[in-house]
Copies of this chain bind each other. A is one copy, B any other.
Amino acid sequence: SFFAPPFSLLGQGALQRLGNVVSESGAKRCLVVSQTKHLRDEDEKDVLKRLCKELFDAGTDAFIFSDVELNATTENVAAALLMAYEYDVDSIISAGGGSAHDVAKAVRALYRNPEQDAVQELVGVDEIAAGWIPAVPHFAVSTCMGACSALTRLAVITDPLHQETLEIVDWRITPSVSCDDTLLMLEQPREIIAAAGVESLAHACEAFLSNASTPVTDANALHAIRLLSSYLRAAVTSTPKDTKALDMINYGMFLAGVSFNSAGLGLSHAIANALCAKYINLLSSELLAVMLPHVLEFYGEQSEEMNDDAAELFVDLAEAMGCPKTSSPASAVKCVVQSVARLVSDVELPQTLSEVNARQ
Protein backbone atom coordinates (compact mmCIF):
# COMPACT_ATOMS: atom_id res chain seq x y z
CA SER A 1 0.00 0.00 0.00
CA PHE A 2 1.09 3.58 -0.58
CA PHE A 3 -0.19 6.69 1.22
CA ALA A 4 0.38 10.32 0.19
CA PRO A 5 -1.29 13.73 0.51
CA PRO A 6 -3.64 14.20 -2.48
CA PHE A 7 -2.15 17.66 -3.19
CA SER A 8 1.31 18.94 -2.21
CA LEU A 9 2.66 22.46 -2.72
CA LEU A 10 6.44 22.39 -2.85
CA GLY A 11 9.45 24.59 -3.51
CA GLN A 12 10.12 28.30 -3.48
CA GLY A 13 7.02 30.44 -2.96
CA ALA A 14 4.73 27.51 -2.05
CA LEU A 15 3.22 29.55 0.82
CA GLN A 16 2.09 32.25 -1.61
CA ARG A 17 0.44 29.68 -3.87
CA LEU A 18 -1.51 28.37 -0.88
CA GLY A 19 -3.67 31.51 -0.93
CA ASN A 20 -5.23 30.45 -4.25
CA VAL A 21 -5.82 26.89 -3.09
CA VAL A 22 -7.54 28.08 0.09
CA SER A 23 -9.69 30.43 -1.97
CA GLU A 24 -10.68 27.64 -4.40
CA SER A 25 -11.56 25.45 -1.45
CA GLY A 26 -14.12 28.09 -0.50
CA ALA A 27 -12.83 28.39 3.08
CA LYS A 28 -14.54 31.32 4.82
CA ARG A 29 -13.87 30.54 8.47
CA CYS A 30 -10.57 28.85 9.22
CA LEU A 31 -9.15 27.44 12.47
CA VAL A 32 -5.40 28.18 12.50
CA VAL A 33 -3.50 25.78 14.79
CA SER A 34 -0.01 26.86 15.86
CA GLN A 35 2.57 26.85 18.64
CA THR A 36 3.12 30.62 18.51
CA LYS A 37 2.60 31.15 22.22
CA HIS A 38 5.60 28.96 22.99
CA LEU A 39 7.94 30.39 20.37
CA ARG A 40 10.69 32.72 21.46
CA ASP A 41 11.71 33.35 17.88
CA GLU A 42 10.13 36.37 16.16
CA ASP A 43 10.80 34.80 12.73
CA GLU A 44 8.46 31.94 13.54
CA LYS A 45 5.73 34.32 14.66
CA ASP A 46 6.31 36.23 11.44
CA VAL A 47 5.39 33.15 9.36
CA LEU A 48 2.01 33.08 11.07
CA LYS A 49 1.47 36.74 10.18
CA ARG A 50 2.31 36.02 6.53
CA LEU A 51 -0.03 33.04 6.53
CA CYS A 52 -2.86 35.15 7.95
CA LYS A 53 -2.25 37.73 5.23
CA GLU A 54 -2.65 34.96 2.60
CA LEU A 55 -5.93 33.92 4.26
CA PHE A 56 -7.14 37.52 4.43
CA ASP A 57 -6.36 38.02 0.72
CA ALA A 58 -8.31 34.83 0.00
CA GLY A 59 -11.34 36.28 1.82
CA THR A 60 -11.02 33.88 4.75
CA ASP A 61 -11.40 34.74 8.46
CA ALA A 62 -8.72 33.20 10.70
CA PHE A 63 -9.39 32.05 14.27
CA ILE A 64 -6.00 31.43 15.83
CA PHE A 65 -5.37 28.68 18.37
CA SER A 66 -1.77 29.33 19.35
CA ASP A 67 -1.49 27.20 22.50
CA VAL A 68 -0.11 23.89 21.16
CA GLU A 69 2.63 22.63 23.52
CA LEU A 70 6.06 21.52 22.29
CA ASN A 71 4.64 17.98 22.67
CA ALA A 72 0.99 18.03 21.57
CA THR A 73 -1.44 17.05 24.35
CA THR A 74 -5.01 15.76 24.58
CA GLU A 75 -5.83 19.04 26.36
CA ASN A 76 -4.58 21.00 23.34
CA VAL A 77 -6.89 18.93 21.11
CA ALA A 78 -9.90 19.45 23.40
CA ALA A 79 -9.34 23.22 23.58
CA ALA A 80 -8.81 23.59 19.82
CA LEU A 81 -11.88 21.43 19.10
CA LEU A 82 -13.99 23.66 21.35
CA MET A 83 -12.75 26.69 19.42
CA ALA A 84 -13.63 25.02 16.09
CA TYR A 85 -17.23 24.50 17.27
CA GLU A 86 -17.45 27.96 18.85
CA TYR A 87 -16.48 29.71 15.59
CA ASP A 88 -18.26 27.17 13.34
CA VAL A 89 -15.15 26.82 11.11
CA ASP A 90 -15.21 25.28 7.63
CA SER A 91 -11.48 24.53 7.32
CA ILE A 92 -8.32 23.94 9.38
CA ILE A 93 -4.78 25.19 8.80
CA SER A 94 -1.84 24.03 10.87
CA ALA A 95 1.43 25.95 10.76
CA GLY A 96 4.53 24.73 12.52
CA GLY A 97 6.27 21.45 13.27
CA GLY A 98 4.85 18.04 14.14
CA SER A 99 2.87 19.09 17.20
CA ALA A 100 0.74 21.73 15.44
CA HIS A 101 -0.07 19.33 12.60
CA ASP A 102 -0.83 16.47 14.99
CA VAL A 103 -3.33 18.58 16.98
CA ALA A 104 -4.97 19.71 13.73
CA LYS A 105 -5.27 16.11 12.51
CA ALA A 106 -6.95 15.00 15.74
CA VAL A 107 -9.31 18.01 15.72
CA ARG A 108 -10.24 17.27 12.10
CA ALA A 109 -10.97 13.62 12.94
CA LEU A 110 -13.29 14.63 15.79
CA TYR A 111 -14.94 17.79 14.40
CA ARG A 112 -18.56 17.10 13.37
CA ASN A 113 -17.94 13.39 13.83
CA PRO A 114 -21.14 12.19 15.53
CA GLU A 115 -19.65 8.89 16.73
CA GLN A 116 -16.36 9.90 18.33
CA ASP A 117 -15.51 12.80 20.60
CA ALA A 118 -12.14 12.11 22.23
CA VAL A 119 -8.63 11.35 20.99
CA GLN A 120 -8.60 8.08 22.96
CA GLU A 121 -11.32 6.66 20.67
CA LEU A 122 -9.12 7.17 17.58
CA VAL A 123 -6.02 5.34 18.83
CA GLY A 124 -4.72 2.52 16.60
CA VAL A 125 -4.71 1.88 12.87
CA ASP A 126 -7.75 3.09 10.93
CA GLU A 127 -9.94 3.38 14.04
CA ILE A 128 -11.86 6.46 12.87
CA ALA A 129 -15.56 5.53 12.75
CA ALA A 130 -16.39 3.42 9.68
CA GLY A 131 -17.81 5.49 6.86
CA TRP A 132 -16.93 8.85 8.35
CA ILE A 133 -15.36 11.32 5.89
CA PRO A 134 -13.47 14.35 7.26
CA ALA A 135 -15.98 17.21 7.49
CA VAL A 136 -13.53 19.98 6.57
CA PRO A 137 -10.30 20.26 4.55
CA HIS A 138 -6.93 20.50 6.35
CA PHE A 139 -4.02 22.58 4.98
CA ALA A 140 -0.68 21.80 6.68
CA VAL A 141 2.11 24.37 6.38
CA SER A 142 5.59 23.26 7.52
CA THR A 143 7.63 25.94 9.22
CA CYS A 144 10.07 23.54 10.92
CA MET A 145 12.30 21.47 8.68
CA GLY A 146 12.16 17.71 8.54
CA ALA A 147 8.96 17.45 10.62
CA CYS A 148 7.14 15.30 8.08
CA SER A 149 3.82 15.35 9.95
CA ALA A 150 2.44 17.75 7.30
CA LEU A 151 2.35 14.86 4.85
CA THR A 152 1.71 11.71 6.90
CA ARG A 153 -1.28 9.74 8.20
CA LEU A 154 0.13 9.74 11.75
CA ALA A 155 -0.67 11.86 14.79
CA VAL A 156 1.11 11.46 18.14
CA ILE A 157 -0.69 13.05 21.11
CA THR A 158 0.38 12.93 24.77
CA ASP A 159 -2.19 12.26 27.48
CA PRO A 160 -0.68 14.11 30.48
CA LEU A 161 -3.26 12.74 32.94
CA HIS A 162 -2.46 9.06 32.27
CA GLN A 163 1.14 9.79 31.16
CA GLU A 164 0.53 7.95 27.91
CA THR A 165 1.53 8.56 24.30
CA LEU A 166 -1.45 8.05 21.97
CA GLU A 167 -0.79 7.15 18.33
CA ILE A 168 -3.41 7.62 15.63
CA VAL A 169 -2.69 6.05 12.23
CA ASP A 170 -5.42 6.58 9.64
CA TRP A 171 -5.21 7.47 5.96
CA ARG A 172 -8.23 9.77 6.40
CA ILE A 173 -6.20 12.19 8.58
CA THR A 174 -3.58 12.74 5.86
CA PRO A 175 -3.79 16.53 5.32
CA SER A 176 -5.75 17.55 2.19
CA VAL A 177 -2.92 19.86 1.12
CA SER A 178 0.66 19.97 2.43
CA CYS A 179 2.82 23.05 1.90
CA ASP A 180 6.64 23.09 2.17
CA ASP A 181 8.10 26.44 1.17
CA THR A 182 11.88 26.53 0.63
CA LEU A 183 11.87 30.28 1.38
CA LEU A 184 10.95 29.49 5.01
CA MET A 185 14.04 27.23 5.19
CA LEU A 186 16.28 30.15 4.21
CA GLU A 187 15.60 31.62 7.63
CA GLN A 188 16.65 28.53 9.59
CA PRO A 189 20.04 28.32 11.38
CA ARG A 190 22.63 26.07 9.72
CA GLU A 191 22.71 23.49 12.54
CA ILE A 192 18.92 22.99 12.21
CA ILE A 193 19.25 22.40 8.46
CA ALA A 194 22.10 19.91 9.07
CA ALA A 195 20.16 17.97 11.73
CA ALA A 196 16.94 17.91 9.69
CA GLY A 197 18.85 16.77 6.59
CA VAL A 198 20.47 13.82 8.37
CA GLU A 199 17.16 12.96 10.06
CA SER A 200 15.56 12.76 6.60
CA LEU A 201 18.45 10.66 5.33
CA ALA A 202 17.70 8.24 8.18
CA HIS A 203 13.97 8.27 7.23
CA ALA A 204 14.82 7.39 3.63
CA CYS A 205 17.45 4.71 4.40
CA GLU A 206 15.24 2.96 6.95
CA ALA A 207 12.17 3.08 4.70
CA PHE A 208 14.21 1.66 1.80
CA LEU A 209 15.58 -1.19 3.96
CA SER A 210 12.21 -1.84 5.64
CA ASN A 211 10.39 -5.15 5.13
CA ALA A 212 7.30 -3.14 4.18
CA SER A 213 9.00 -1.32 1.30
CA THR A 214 7.61 -1.56 -2.24
CA PRO A 215 9.01 -0.28 -5.56
CA VAL A 216 6.86 2.85 -5.02
CA THR A 217 8.41 3.64 -1.63
CA ASP A 218 11.84 2.69 -3.09
CA ALA A 219 11.42 5.28 -5.87
CA ASN A 220 10.83 8.01 -3.29
CA ALA A 221 13.48 6.82 -0.81
CA LEU A 222 16.27 6.39 -3.38
CA HIS A 223 15.69 9.81 -4.92
CA ALA A 224 15.56 11.36 -1.43
CA ILE A 225 18.93 9.75 -0.67
CA ARG A 226 20.34 11.00 -3.98
CA LEU A 227 19.23 14.61 -3.28
CA LEU A 228 20.22 14.67 0.40
CA SER A 229 23.67 13.13 -0.28
CA SER A 230 24.39 15.55 -3.14
CA TYR A 231 23.13 18.82 -1.69
CA LEU A 232 23.28 18.77 2.13
CA ARG A 233 26.88 20.02 2.39
CA ALA A 234 26.19 23.01 0.12
CA ALA A 235 22.86 23.72 1.86
CA VAL A 236 24.58 23.86 5.26
CA THR A 237 27.95 25.47 4.50
CA SER A 238 27.49 27.94 1.59
CA THR A 239 27.68 31.69 2.23
CA PRO A 240 25.43 33.33 1.20
CA LYS A 241 22.88 30.51 1.51
CA ASP A 242 22.62 28.32 -1.62
CA THR A 243 18.94 28.55 -2.60
CA LYS A 244 19.10 25.75 -5.17
CA ALA A 245 20.72 23.38 -2.66
CA LEU A 246 18.07 24.26 -0.04
CA ASP A 247 15.33 23.65 -2.62
CA MET A 248 16.76 20.18 -3.34
CA ILE A 249 16.98 19.43 0.41
CA ASN A 250 13.34 20.49 0.79
CA TYR A 251 12.29 18.07 -2.00
CA GLY A 252 14.52 15.37 -0.51
CA MET A 253 12.81 15.75 2.89
CA PHE A 254 9.38 15.50 1.24
CA LEU A 255 10.36 12.32 -0.65
CA ALA A 256 11.84 10.78 2.52
CA GLY A 257 8.64 11.59 4.45
CA VAL A 258 6.31 10.15 1.82
CA SER A 259 8.45 7.03 1.69
CA PHE A 260 8.42 6.25 5.44
CA ASN A 261 4.73 7.17 5.65
CA SER A 262 4.07 3.90 3.76
CA ALA A 263 7.15 1.73 4.44
CA GLY A 264 7.78 2.55 8.12
CA LEU A 265 11.05 3.19 9.95
CA GLY A 266 13.80 1.11 11.55
CA LEU A 267 16.46 0.70 14.20
CA SER A 268 18.06 4.15 14.41
CA HIS A 269 14.65 5.65 15.16
CA ALA A 270 13.87 2.90 17.65
CA ILE A 271 17.15 3.55 19.50
CA ALA A 272 16.85 7.35 19.34
CA ASN A 273 13.25 7.21 20.59
CA ALA A 274 14.20 4.92 23.48
CA LEU A 275 17.10 7.18 24.51
CA CYS A 276 14.96 10.31 24.18
CA ALA A 277 12.27 8.79 26.40
CA LYS A 278 14.87 8.07 29.10
CA TYR A 279 17.02 11.21 28.84
CA ILE A 280 14.57 13.98 28.24
CA ASN A 281 17.13 16.62 27.25
CA LEU A 282 18.63 14.72 24.30
CA LEU A 283 17.82 15.87 20.76
CA SER A 284 16.35 13.11 18.61
CA SER A 285 17.88 14.42 15.38
CA GLU A 286 21.40 14.55 16.94
CA LEU A 287 20.99 10.99 18.23
CA LEU A 288 19.99 9.88 14.73
CA ALA A 289 23.18 11.42 13.35
CA VAL A 290 25.22 9.41 15.86
CA MET A 291 23.30 6.15 15.36
CA LEU A 292 22.79 6.08 11.57
CA PRO A 293 26.26 4.89 10.41
CA HIS A 294 26.33 2.15 13.09
CA VAL A 295 22.80 1.00 12.32
CA LEU A 296 23.54 0.87 8.57
CA GLU A 297 26.68 -1.19 9.29
CA PHE A 298 24.60 -3.58 11.41
CA TYR A 299 21.93 -3.88 8.70
CA GLY A 300 24.70 -4.48 6.15
CA GLU A 301 26.22 -7.33 8.18
CA GLN A 302 22.78 -8.87 8.74
CA SER A 303 21.83 -8.67 5.08
CA GLU A 304 25.06 -10.33 3.91
CA GLU A 305 24.28 -13.28 6.15
CA MET A 306 20.65 -13.42 5.07
CA ASN A 307 20.19 -13.60 1.31
CA ASP A 308 21.19 -12.08 -1.99
CA ASP A 309 18.11 -9.85 -2.32
CA ALA A 310 18.78 -8.10 1.00
CA ALA A 311 22.48 -7.63 0.19
CA GLU A 312 21.55 -6.33 -3.26
CA LEU A 313 19.70 -3.42 -1.58
CA PHE A 314 23.04 -1.99 -0.45
CA VAL A 315 24.29 -1.91 -4.05
CA ASP A 316 21.36 0.39 -4.94
CA LEU A 317 21.82 2.40 -1.73
CA ALA A 318 25.53 2.91 -2.50
CA GLU A 319 24.73 4.07 -6.04
CA ALA A 320 22.18 6.58 -4.72
CA MET A 321 24.84 7.94 -2.34
CA GLY A 322 27.23 8.51 -5.25
CA CYS A 323 29.60 5.64 -4.45
CA PRO A 324 31.60 4.16 -7.36
CA LYS A 325 29.54 1.52 -9.18
CA THR A 326 30.03 -1.92 -7.67
CA SER A 327 28.32 -5.30 -7.80
CA SER A 328 29.86 -6.44 -4.49
CA PRO A 329 27.44 -6.02 -1.58
CA ALA A 330 30.33 -6.01 0.93
CA SER A 331 32.07 -3.03 -0.67
CA ALA A 332 28.66 -1.32 -1.11
CA VAL A 333 27.98 -1.60 2.63
CA LYS A 334 31.44 -0.21 3.39
CA CYS A 335 30.97 2.79 1.09
CA VAL A 336 27.44 3.51 2.42
CA VAL A 337 28.65 3.54 6.04
CA GLN A 338 31.66 5.73 5.22
CA SER A 339 29.60 8.17 3.11
CA VAL A 340 27.06 8.71 5.88
CA ALA A 341 29.76 9.10 8.56
CA ARG A 342 31.62 11.62 6.38
CA LEU A 343 28.45 13.60 5.69
CA VAL A 344 27.61 13.75 9.43
CA SER A 345 31.13 15.00 10.14
CA ASP A 346 31.16 17.52 7.24
CA VAL A 347 27.92 19.19 8.41
CA GLU A 348 29.36 19.29 11.96
CA LEU A 349 26.84 17.09 13.71
CA PRO A 350 27.93 15.02 16.74
CA GLN A 351 29.48 11.64 15.98
CA THR A 352 29.51 10.10 19.45
CA LEU A 353 27.00 9.87 22.30
CA SER A 354 29.38 11.79 24.58
CA GLU A 355 29.34 14.72 22.14
CA VAL A 356 25.52 14.75 22.24
CA ASN A 357 25.71 14.82 26.01
CA ALA A 358 28.34 17.52 26.03
CA ARG A 359 26.09 19.81 24.02
CA GLN A 360 23.22 19.66 26.48
Hey, which bits of chain A sit against chain B, CB under 8 A? 1-11, 17, 23-28, 90, 126, 129-133, 136-137, 171, 174, 214-216, 218-220, 222-224, 227, 248, 251-252, 254-255, 325
Nearest B residue to A248, CB-CB:
B215
Choose among B27, B214, B251 the residue that contacts A251 (Cβ–Cβ < 8 A). Answer: B214
A4 to B7, CA, bound (A): 7
Q: A1-B7, A6-B6 are in contact. List 14 more A-B contacts (CB 8 A).
A: A2-B7, A11-B214, A25-B130, A26-B132, A133-B137, A215-B251, A215-B252, A215-B255, A216-B251, A216-B254, A216-B255, A218-B223, A219-B223, A219-B224
Decide: A5 near B4, CB < 8 A? Known: A90-B131, A218-B223, A219-B220. yes
A91 to nearest B CB, angstroms?
Answer: 9
A222 to B222, CA, bound (A): 10
A133 to B137, CA, bound (A): 8
Choose among B1, B10, B255 the residue that contacts A9 (Cβ–Cβ < 8 A). Answer: B1
A21 to B50, CA, bound (A): 39
Q: Is the CB of A126 within 8 A of B24?
A: yes
Nearest B residue to A25, CB-CB:
B131
Nearest B residue to A26, CB-CB:
B131
Nearest B residue to A325, CB-CB:
B325
A23 to B129, CA, bound (A): 11
A210 to B24, CA, bound (A): 26
Nearest B residue to A255, CB-CB:
B219
Nearest B residue to A215, CB-CB:
B251
A222 to B227, CA, bound (A): 14
Q: Which residues of the partner chain B approach A130 to less than 8 Å between Cβ atoms?
A: 23-26
Q: Which residues of the partner chain B approach A129 to less than 8 Å between Cβ atoms?
A: 26
A332 to nearest B CB, angstroms?
Answer: 16
A15 to B28, CA, bound (A): 40
Most B CB contacts (10 A, CB to CB) among A23, A171, A325 go to A171
Q: Which residues of the partner chain B approach A216 to less than 8 Å between Cβ atoms?
A: 8, 10, 251, 254-255
10 contacts between A and B (CB under 8 A): A2-B8, A3-B8, A10-B216, A24-B126, A25-B131, A28-B131, A133-B136, A215-B248, A218-B223, A223-B223
Q: Which residues of the partner chain B approach A126 to less than 8 Å between Cβ atoms?
A: 24
Q: Is the CB of A171 within 8 A of B137?
A: no
Nearest B residue to A218, CB-CB:
B223
A41 to B339, CA, bound (A): 55
Q: Is the CB of A3 within 8 A of B1?
A: no
Q: Which residues of the partner chain B approach A248 to less than 8 Å between Cβ atoms?
A: 215
Most B CB contacts (10 A, CB to CB) among A2, A132, A251, A254 go to A2
A24 to B23, CA, bound (A): 32
Q: Nearest 8 A-B pairs (CB), nearest first?
A: A26-B131, A219-B223, A26-B130, A215-B251, A4-B4, A2-B8, A7-B171, A6-B6
Nearest B residue to A127, CB-CB:
B24
Nearest B residue to A91, CB-CB:
B131
Choose among B6, B131, B224, B227 the residue that contacts A27 (Cβ–Cβ < 8 A). Answer: B131
Q: Which residues of the partner chain B approach A4 to less than 8 Å between Cβ atoms?
A: 4-6, 8
A45 to B210, CA, bound (A): 38
A216 to B216, CA, bound (A): 12
A330 to B293, CA, bound (A): 38
Most B CB contacts (10 A, CB to CB) among A1, A9, A248 go to A1
Q: Which residues of the partner chain B approach A11 to less than 8 Å between Cβ atoms?
A: 214
